[in-house]
Structure formats: C-alpha cells, structure tokens
Amino acid sequence: MKRKIYLYGRLRDAGLGSSVALDLPPRATARQALAALKTALGPRGALLSGCALAGEDAVLAPSDRVPARGILAALPPVCGG
C-alpha cells in the first residue's frame, strides 16, 4: 500500500522535506513502516532513533498495524515544557 509519512522536528530540519512516500506491504506494522522509512532515508535514517509513528488519533505501538487511510507522521522525541 502506498503511504505518505509526514516528517517533523529534526527529520524535517535535516533537509529531508515535509514527507516521504513509501510502498508498504499490506497489514504493515508501525515497526515495519519505520524500518522502511529508515531505508528510504539512507544515511540520514539514523535520525529515526527514538522516533515514533503516529496516526491521526494516537501514537502507534511498534506492533500496531498501520492504518490504510489517514495521516501518518514520524515524531522525534521531544523534551521541555
């Protein structure tokens, strides 16, 4: 399935653009989607360390299935208040 993953924080700041289009297998998990994104980013894939994949309503657990529709975002860890 074709999915677009929006990039935020250090991912976007690294000049990777605002999103990356990926072709994921049917019933892909969040873990698989992040692995595919890491491959697509090449050497900059290391920036995904600590990142989570989020859908429209929640952050996905690594074993959660990627929804077939809706927004997906790679969210880097944040700190501060």
Classify residue 44: in a domain, yes or no.
Answer: yes
With beta carbons less than 8 A apart as the criterion, state whether 11 and 2 touch. no
Tell me whether residue 75 is in a domain.
Answer: no
Residue 80's pLDDT band, with cuts at 50, 70 and 90, is low
CATH number at residue 46: 3.10.20
80 inside domain:
no
Q: Is residue 37 in a domain?
A: yes
In the chain, how many domains are there? 1
Tell how strand 52-54 and strand 72-75 pair up. antiparallel
Q: Tens of pLDDT along 2-60?
A: 999 999 988 888 877 899 999 999 999 999 999 999 999 999 999 999 999 999 999 99
pLDDT per residue as tens digits for the range 50-67: 999 999 999 999 999 999
Q: Which domain holds residue 58?
A: 2-66
Answer whether residue 74 is part of any domain.
Answer: no
